[in-house]
Amino acid sequence: MKRALRAMSRMMKGMASVRANSGACAVTIMLTVLLPGAAPAGDSIVIGGKIFTEAYVLGEIAAQTVEASSTVPVTRKLGMGSTGILFEALKSGAIDVYSDYTGTLAEAILKKPDLKSLDEIRAALGALDLTISGSLGFNDTYALAVKESFAEQHQLHTIGDLIPIQSGVRAAFSYEFMDRKDGYPGLVNNYHLAFDTQKVSRMEHSLSFQAIDQNAVDLIDVYSTDAKIKKLHLRLLKDDHNYFPVYQAVWVASKSFVAEHPREWQALLALEGRISETAMLDMNAQADIQKIPFNKIAAQFLGSEARNSEGWWQEVGRRTREHLWLVGVSLLFSVLVGIPLGIAAVRFHATGQAILLSSAIIQTVPSLALLCFLIPVFGVGTKPALAALCLYSLLPVVLNTFTGIRAVNPIHLENARAFGLNRRQVLFRVVLPLASPTLLAGIKTATIVSIGTATLAALVGAGGYGAPIVSGLALNDVHTILTGAIPAALMALVAHGIFELLGVVLIPAGLRRRS
């Protein structure tokens, strides 16, 4: 028993030393990366973009246009997610400009569908300290599409022609289309459609094309400039009620960006009317079908030289550093906060139940929803991603700390007190060493979960391995998806190996033999 206590004492002294040296630094890091306004403001122009092909192309066109007219560095945050995320990012100053559509701005953002003209929309956005350009030259409205063979079989030419067969139609609509008032809800009301809800699926936009191509569904929503319409031999059903509003493509920017960078804004305004519907369709086809990189497509359109893109190893290295930062900070938080909370949960019974319940409730919130909830507080970028990951990492550490301590045999505590150890010494020299296998398993679980969950950080512009995964989903490009998925899986395997080695170092030998 004396030998075991000496081994435990040496281990916990080492751990206490590490905690003492790193605690203040860790708290400083957490405050810097999480508190609003704590991080220094960036000195670059940030171009944002949504998570579909056309937004990537337009975002790259905007970025190269600004780079050609400015000496200020340009940061690309493309593939950030839905309209709501991009708009919040613009309002918070996390991005400076992105491409959007007049119909989307009026219907989904301003909630004023009666606004039709560019001047009306611009005036309404002015109250939010935002502005828009004129039309870039094309209208990319919503449309419904079916395969030509399905259309011929059922004599479909208009959306209204779906009514006689509506109960048997298998549909797949994008998440945004299903939720927007100018999307599915208004469509079924306007056309008095009654699809079988069991046959209507929500699906990522690019994957719906794959679904209809494989005859898994009959009907999908598309954008009128989607390149895969022709490739997959789809028929657009005429909007005979003129339900879908006009979606003229425009640049949306903050007024502060316009005031601080007038030359760059004028360069973007010079693109008004230059991108025809045919030109946009061709560029989308180059990305979706020919798999040409976005930077080359944009450079070809602008008549300039494409900047040298990162090599595969350079991109993986950059994404690895971003991902390690996200996981590392959340891991540090889980240790510094989760272990004390677990100890408190054991010592104070009523408070302990509240701690465990709160940690469990946080874990039940869908990760993407939690990111969206945090955007108004932290803005867009690394801060909300870190905040979400830190919250998600708590439950495994808190619960395993609580369980490990509760499992310690009371006889060991009595023996420790018999040696004259006080409460603090009992905790650090006996209780935590005996609970270390369970405690370390909780930290390991939190780390592995964080590695996977951090891929969603790309949707709020935080980068990491999620960025190529999101881009690959938009293009339905398996190779690009694997660029992020494989390194993420390898990082999880490496983390598993590291924790196995830590177990050998930190867990007393007697406990290792029994585990």
pLDDT in tens, 118-158: 999 999 999 999 999 999 999 988 999 999 999 999 999 99
Query: Whole-model pTM?
Result: 0.74
Range of the domain at 74: 45-139+247-302
CATH label of the domain that carries residue 146:
3.40.190.120
Give the neighbor-by-neighbor strand order of the sheet with 142-147: 200-202, 171-173, 219-223, 142-147, 234-237
Are 55 and 200 in a shared domain?
no
Are 467 and 346 in a shared domain?
yes
Cα(48)–Cα(59) distance, rounded to whole angstroms? Answer: 7
User: For residue 331, is it within any domain?
Assistant: yes
The chain-wide mean pLDDT, for the chain, equals: 86
Beta strands in 288-431 (DSSP E): none
**pLDDT recorded at residue 306:** 64
Are 282 and 415 in a shared domain?
no
Choose one of 302, 322, 337: the last residue of a domain: 302
Judged against a pLDDT cut of 80, whether residue 268 lies above it is answered with yes
User: Residue 379, SS3?
Assistant: coil
Q: Are 374 and 360 in contact (CB under 8 A)?
A: no
Are 291 and 325 in a shared domain?
no
User: For residue 171, is it within any domain?
Assistant: yes
Judged against a pLDDT cut of 50, whether residue 181 lies above it is answered with yes
Confidence category of residue 34, pLDDT binned at 50, 70, 90: very low
For residue 277, is it left (φ>0), alpha (ψ between -120 and 50) or beta? alpha
Q: What is the mean pLDDT of residues 231-257?
A: 93
Most confident of 249-258, 375-384, 429-438, 449-458: 249-258
Q: Which two tokens stand for residue 328?
A: 């590392």
Confidence category of residue 310, pLDDT binned at 50, 70, 90: low
Question: What does the pLDDT look like over 348-381, one tens digit per residue?
Answer: 888 888 998 998 898 888 877 787 778 777 877 7
Number of domains present in the structure of the chain:
3
Looking at per-residue pLDDT, the higher value among 169 and 246 belongs to: 169
Are 232 and 251 in a shared domain?
no
Give the neighbor-by-neighbor strand order of the sheet with 97-101: 74-77, 45-48, 97-101, 249-254, 130-132
CATH label of the domain that carries residue 384:
1.10.3720.10
Q: Which residues of 220-247 are buried (b: 16+ CB within 10 A; e: fewer)?
A: bbbbbbbbbbeebebbbbebeeeebbeb
Cα(284)–Cα(290) distance, rounded to whole angstroms? Answer: 9
Q: Are 247 and 142 in contact (CB under 8 A)?
A: yes
